[in-house]
Structure 1
Amino acid sequence: MVAEEAVRKLALETEKDPTPYRLEWLKKGNEVIVSQRCLVTFSIVSRYKDKTWCDVVAIDACHLLLGRPWQYDRNVHHDGRNNTYSFLVDNVKLTILPNLGDKPKPSKGAGQNLLAKREFIKEMRDSNQVYVLVRKECTPTEEAVPEAMKGLVEELSDMFTKELPEELSPLRDIQHQIDLVLGSNLPNRPHYCMSPKEHEELRRQVEGLLSKGHIRESLSPCAIPAFLTPKKDGLWRMCVDSGTINKITVRYRFPIHRLDDLLDQLGQQYLQS
């Protein structure tokens, strides 16, 4: 089995499962309906590379779960006492061992282990002393702005608003457009597979942008999909997959301004004002 999140982020193609079924133990909450499958290419270290058909489900435990069908096809032997899986790869026996948390700890000075939460808690209980390195996120404040730059920041405060304006900026003298290569086939791609929660979030963001006038209903013969990616603060960022459009876009070449010259001009204008 493969997680929906992994299929979406890797842009893997899916197809309808010929024998759909239901599961009630892979995800917290309601039962899981399995109706899609995907051909996944994976590797275990650098010695073993393989591809297998996986059912697409919303898994909380992992991204890829190799079950009994894969074990049957590869004639995998499971050692229950040592929790290992062994099979032949090009007449060479390959054994999959448990993670580092189940292995004997190396002697002092032999190396370091990155522990999972369960092993970390066990280590805390077994050790007399525990040292923890805590990373604290720093947020910029007004005191972080240099004294010489406070006047410029206050003067341009209207350019750094927390909320987007309710309308687009006025038309400028130069209007940009995307020119496509003549004779190119216009892309028309279907949207990505999403969960009901993601569909609802995407609909909310699109309706919000429509109400503010930032976007409008498309009348273009091209169709490119949009998808969501999680942000660090737990919210979702909407992204548009423009890869197919970029391949047929006319590239216009022009010299890039020198950053040091721009900074010199900005500093000169600030001193004159």
Structure 2
Amino acid sequence: MHEGKKITLAPLTPSQVQEDQERLRKNTEKVRGKKMNVYGSSKEIRKCLSSQQFVLILLFKDHCLLSETHCNLPASISSLLQEFEDVFPDETPKGLPPLRGIEHQIDFIPGASIPNRPAYRNNPEETKELQRQVTELLDKGYIRESLSPCAVSVLLVPKKDGSWRMCVDCRAVNQITIKYRHPIPRLDDMLDELILEGSG
């Protein structure tokens, strides 16, 4: 609901996706070679706010510095972040999202052999960390025991803060997966399109 009107968002048709990608490609070619900056300074943001125009702001916030971040922002932005603070909880809800009528599936190339890769060798510390992360994901309901005949390897990658990130090596599965006819637009392309529409 927006301003008393019910608005239903529907996905684009395949032809609309193709037209949108073609328009995006042409727009990207126009600005190629020009220096583009997707970041706005505080001066630019204040100028936009004072112009009484509709403004969309993408703000990266660090949970540890949330209070400090609010102090450095204009009062209107700080109040907006506080008003919708429940939209960005520190912990995501447990369990998988509800079924919405569209079931995701990965289609393999007909006749392709199912890959079964051996597990990566881990030391006892890494094995314990893997077990901890898998147990945590199972308890939260984000994952469940796989019944697939396909096996892929998992490895741990160290993060800057000293903790471990679990990565699933799906390269073997990707090689036998039927690619989408209409690929998802890249984030860089969508940002370029947003900048072009905003300046046009």
- Which TM-score bucket, shorter chain as reference? 0.5 to 0.7
Match of 2:128 in 1: 200
Residue 39 of structure 2: aligned partner: none
Q: Deviations over 1:129-165 (max 9, x none)?
A: xxxxxxxxx9562234454434543344233222232
- Among 176, 180, 185, which residue is 2:113 paired with? 185
Q: Structure 1 residues 260, 167: closer, same or farther in 2, change over 3 A?
A: same
Q: Please name the residue that 1:165 is paired with.
A: 93
Residues 219-243 of structure 1, C-alpha deviations (whole Å, 9 max, x = no match)? 1000001111111111111110000
Task: Write out per-residue CA displacement over residues 79-112 of structure 1, whole angstroms, 9 at most, x where no aligned residue.
Answer: xxxxxxxxxxxxxxxxxxxxxxxxxxxxxxxxxx
- In structure 1, stretches of 5+ residues that fail to align are 1-137, 266-273
Post-superposition shift, 1:259? Answer: 4.2
Does residue 164 of structure 2 align to residue 236 of structure 1? yes
Matched residues, number: 128
- The equivalent residue for 2:139 is 211
Q: Are 2:170 and 1:248 aligned?
A: no
Q: 1:194 to 1:258 in 2, by over 3 A?
A: closer
User: Which residue of structure 2 lines up, in the alignment, with residue 154 of structure 1?
Assistant: 82
How far, CA to CA, are the matches of 1:234 and 1:186 in structure 2? 35
Return the letter of the residue paired with 2:164.
Answer: W
- Per-residue CA deviation, residues 20-70 of structure 1 (Å, 9 max, x unaligned), is xxxxxxxxxxxxxxxxxxxxxxxxxxxxxxxxxxxxxxxxxxxxxxxxxxx
For the residue of structure 2 that corresponds to 1:185, the secondary structure is coil
Q: C-alpha separation between the residues in 1 aligned to 2:175 and 2:150?
A: 13
Q: 1:182 to 1:235 in 2, by over 3 A?
A: same
| Structure with greater proportional helix content | 2
Q: CA deviation at 1:170?
A: 1.7
Unmatched tracts of structure 2, length 5 or more: 1-63
SS at match of 1:169: coil
C-alpha RMSD of the superposition: 2.8
Query: C-alpha separation between the residues in 2 aligned to 1:146 and 1:223?
Result: 51
The one-letter code matched in structure 2 to 1:240 is: V
CA distance in 1: counterparts of 2:162 and 2:114, whole angstroms: 35
Query: In the alignment, what sits opposite 2:104?
Result: 176
SS in 2 for 1:193: coil
Structure 1 length-normalised TM: 0.41
Distance 1:220 1:173, change over 3 A: same
Taking a change above 3 Å as real, the CA distance of residues 205 and 258 of structure 1, as seen in their structure-2 partners, is: closer
Q: Which has the higher contact order (CA 8 A, sep 6+)?
A: 2
Q: Which amino acid aligns with 1:158?
A: D
Percent identical:
51
